[in-house]
Structure 1
Amino acid sequence: MIDHIFGLSIRYEPWDKKSILPLYIVSNYQFYTAYIENIRCIVIIPTEELPTLPSLKKQIQKIRVIDDVSVVLYSKTISFYRRKSLLENHIPFMTDKQVFLPFIGTLLVDEKETEKMKDKFVYSTQLLFLAYMYNHEKKVYVSDLSKYLPFSAMTLSRAVKQLEMTDLFLVYKVGVNKVIESKYSYKELFERIQRYLLTPVRHVGYMDQPLVTDHMILAGESALSEMSMLNPSRIKIYAVYEKDFDKTQLIDELIDPDVQVKVEIWAYDPQLFTHTNIADTLSIILSLKVNKDERIEKIIEDILKPL
């Protein structure tokens, strides 16, 4: 246990009333009387797994019937989701790095406790995010998303961790299954997560129209024109996964828009989240992030409105 909380001293004594409690409570905790800056409370330390929230609330109530002071749960660490539940239910708790003591009006958190995202996503995390968005459910099992994603369990685990580091999601377990849940609506989530997202486009070039393959689907302004009232560009734009295409077929120069097509080589398969001849909407938007054309910006705004 900790004996100082950011300058507040804590003194512990054995709690002498635990024999009055039901045996199932006594056997699940260690009990101490604690004085935090001369304010008396009871600290309970689980000897096994942390109880469910409903059980914890009932057990705290039984303790308070015997000794009507605040009851503080102590655990070396707690998950983000459990911490959120404790805060929402005003249940005092202490960990080695965090303290919530509403009876003295104190919420203290070690700022180094949670590592925050500072850089862009890796592409596996971006694909996990896109899979979440296209699932159209607020709470999604990671195992369900993994069915659509072409990477290993280890890569998936790292992607989940990177999503969690944005602090835009709750990540927790239901039984043995891990769940991802956004803290925001789809539209607000997409706006907030923009800083971490990458354009899928790795390379751009041109080639003759007869060389277009089944691996290529419409992208960029050509895709937008299919989805909106935007006039189609004179040259068609296609996207293709870098592993499905030999980029040596491309040239850097547009010579004849009536004969050539523009090809965007993507870091991931543009057909992953679509069943049509058009790349998925969110990836198209990300591919156009650097485009400053006001017409395109307005169309993207309109597309995002229903999210």
Structure 2
Amino acid sequence: MKNFIEKILHQNVLISSYEKLDQFSLFFQKSVVFNNITIGNMEAILVKPIENMNLSMIRHIAQEIGNKTNRVCIFYFLKLSSYTHDRLIEEGISFVWEEKEVYIPCFGYYLKQNKNTVLSVNQISFLTQKFLLKALYEEWDHLNASDVAKKLEVSKMSASRIFSEIESLGIPVLNTNGKRKVYRKQGTKKEIWDTIHDFLRNPVIKEFHLEQDIDADLLKSEMTALSSLSMLEDRKYPVYAVLKRDVKEKGIHTMSQIPYNESPGCIVQEVGYCISFHHDLIDPLSVVLMFQDNKDPRIEKAIEQMLEEYVW
């Protein structure tokens, strides 16, 4: 494991026994093996489950370790299901998957903080993007990491990583008072959008062009969502949005698909996050990001109309 992490991250790694086990319950102590791990100049807690562990327990342990030690919790897995793997990445929980993958999203920030830019953050994560958009819509203000954790229902460590990523990317929405970082509402919704827009990315990861329309209760996306929020006419086929877990749960990846140059029964987009709007639509600003490379004046006009009526 040590050699694998060093090979992937190009950093010295030290692993030693963790002695302060009395911080944690006997149940925790019987469920996982605790170790200190130092990667470069970053100190963290390495946790190896003794038996297979469900996602709820993983979340609980990550939050408990973060709160009690103020260190990043890094899980070490011998096996990992695709569902758990995707949820860990979506929620920003660090892990090492034996001989397969190292996912430590805060590590780039620590390298930059220590004047080493080997893995500095250069693209916003979907969790951070979701936070920025929800903060804009709901006009959140004066939030610390604990507040963000409660509002997004993630661990405090995940919320701290959101702040670290925002700082690393240079998005000017945080105020610092000593070591304490706080999200502040910087102007009107339109002014906030103008500030964060260039840092955001298209939330679409993959598209499934299905032969037939899907019989499921899914959020409307892209052109279908835009037409629902403007005077623009929809295409002949609907577009929906789902998270990665829905692709497998609803069997979308097994449904009959057609070539992209043919007219589909529907398009299902796998997206990195979902913020629902009016219960059955993807949120308007994510729709804008889906059309960020579009130059059609009709779509540009519809977007302006949508934003004026539903966002600003």
Q: Shorter-normalised TM-score: what interval? A: 0.5 to 0.7
In 2, Cα distance between the equivalents of 1:287 and 1:150?
26
Give the gaps of 5 or more residues in structure 2: 1-111
Give the structure 2 partner of residue 171 of structure 1: 175
CA-CA distance at 1:289 after TM superposition: 1.2
Give the structure 1 partner of residue 155 of structure 2: 152
**1:221 pairs with 2:226:** no
CA-CA distance at 1:237 after TM superposition: 0.7
Give the gaps of 5 or more residues in structure 1: 1-111
Give the structure 1 partner of residue 190 of structure 2: 187
Give the structure 1 partner of residue 240 of structure 2: 238
In 1, Cα distance between the equivalents of 2:295 and 2:188?
26
In 1, Cα distance between the equivalents of 2:162 and 2:138?
17
Q: Is the 8 A contact 2:219 2:282 kept in 1?
A: yes
Q: Where is the helix percentage greater, Structure 1 or Structure 2?
A: 2
> Which residue type is aligned with residue 298 of structure 2?
R
Q: Is the 8 A contact 1:170 1:181 kept in 2?
A: yes
CA-CA distance at 1:263 after TM superposition: 1.1
**1:127 pairs with 2:130:** yes
In 2, Cα distance between the equivalents of 1:231 and 1:114?
53
> Which residue type is aligned with residue 243 of structure 2?
Y
Q: Structure 1 residues 211, 234: CA separation in 2 closer, same or farther (over 3 Å shift)?
A: closer
CA-CA distance at 1:210 after TM superposition: 5.3
Matches within 5 A, 1:196-207: 196-207=199-210
Q: Structure 1 residues 124, 183: CA separation in 2 closer, same or farther (over 3 Å shift)?
A: same
* TM-superposition CA deviations, 1:172-192 (whole Å, max 9, x none): 469x98631033432122123
Tell me the C-alpha RMSD between the 2 structures. 3.3
CA-CA distance at 1:142 after TM superposition: 4.2
CA-CA distance at 1:292 after TM superposition: 2.0
Q: Structure 1 residues 150, 113: CA separation in 2 closer, same or farther (over 3 Å shift)?
A: closer
* Count of matched residue pairs: 191
Q: Structure 1 residues 151, 113: CA separation in 2 closer, same or farther (over 3 Å shift)?
A: closer
CA-CA distance at 1:212 after TM superposition: 3.5
> TM-score, length-normalised on structure 2?
0.52
Give the SS at the match of 1:211: coil
Equivalent of residue 286 in structure 1, options 275, 278, 289: 289
> Which residue type is aligned with residue 191 of structure 1?
D
Q: Structure 1 residues 208, 251: CA separation in 2 closer, same or farther (over 3 Å shift)?
A: closer
> TM-score, length-normalised on structure 1?
0.53
Tell me which structure has the larger Cα radius of gyration: 1
In 2, Cα distance between the equivalents of 1:119 and 1:302?
32
Matches within 5 A, 1:72-111: none
CA-CA distance at 1:248 after TM superposition: 4.0
Give the structure 1 partner of residue 271 of structure 2: 266
Identity %: 28
* TM-superposition CA deviations, 1:122-151 (whole Å, max 9, x none): 112111112211222443454444334354
Equivalent of residue 259 in structure 2, options 253, 263, 284: 253
Give the SS at the match of 2:277: coil
CA-CA distance at 1:281 after TM superposition: 1.2
Q: Is the 8 A contact 1:132 1:140 kept in 2?
A: no
CA-CA distance at 1:118 after TM superposition: 7.2
